[in-house]
Amino acid sequence: MTEPSGFQVMQIFHDPTPNGLINNRIVASMLDIATRYTTLTEQEKEHFMLILLLVARKMVSVWNHKERYIIEQDRLIEVVSNEGLFPGTSVNLSLSQELFSEFDEFLVQIKSTLDHLVKIPVPILGKNIWSLRTFGSKGEEVLKVLRHNLPEQHKNTAIGFEKVIFDQHRPWLNQVIKLRDRVNHYLEGGISTQAFTVYKAGEEIKVPMFTKEQTVAQLMAIVWQNLFVFVEDFIALSISFKLNPDFALFFQGRPILDTPESPWKVTTQSIREHMITKPGWQKLE
């Protein structure tokens, strides 16, 4: 199809994830809530959208490194299982630079995603209140701002923010940041490149392991899921600071990750008050 003269079509974001998860649940859903149900000015909405797209791009980078790791591991498994790494020789063991690099970059981009994510509240609360430059040491700086920097009218929302974001996510978040420091900063002895080995032992193919029971690929899949949920919740609760008083934000159960529909919904205050009288609902304050 030929575009009309004088018009240009520009793609601002490409989402390679299944069912367009990042685009649907992070970009489109959160932008819709911020645009339709908050008291943000047009300039603040534009600033919010800019940061939101940057966070989404960082999430794509994390997902890409996870996928590339899996693709390369599967390739090495097939090679080692069949003709071997070097046909005509007995060598069937690979200390894979590619697997190490993809895992390394996976961790780097997670930290970078968090550093971008922490800027989401800036257009919502203002840079004088929310002045964080990075995610900091396992999110401790974020907690300080939530507890000490926010005006009185935001205190209850801040309490709910802390409960959802940090009380639920702290264990895996601390583990991943600690692992990233080991790989990138050689802390606690770093991590051996020999850990990223694919080889054949008898009839069994060995792949890189994180623990005796869990492969590195399985770890990356779980961390990706946890990161996605963390980002989704962080953005939704950031928006809630400037939600129009006529509306309320609520969480309608956590869908499986492949579901493109966001669990964060908006309703009126009157419907919200009726909902929370029923069993199973809890105010985050």
Of residues 10, 256, 239, 32, the one with CA closest to residue 117:
239
Domain limits of the chain?
21-243
Of residues 207, 223, 210, 215, the one with CA closest to residue 96:
207
Rounded to whole angstroms, how far apart are CA atoms 252 and 263?
5
Confidence of residue 1 (pLDDT cuts 50, 70, 90): very low
Confidence of residue 201 (pLDDT cuts 50, 70, 90): confident
Torsion of CA 228, 229, 231, 232, to 10 degrees: 110
In this prediction, residue 181 carries a pLDDT of 81
Rounded to whole angstroms, how far apart are CA atoms 30 and 21?
12
Render pLDDT for 30-72 as a digit per residue (tens, 0 to 9): 999 999 999 999 999 999 999 999 999 999 999 999 999 999 9
Render pLDDT for 106-157 as a digit per residue (tens, 0 to 9): 999 999 999 999 999 999 999 999 999 889 777 888 999 999 999 999 998 8
CB 4 within 8 A of CB 241: no
What is the pLDDT of the chain when averaged over all its residues? Answer: 85
Polymer length in residues for the chain: 285
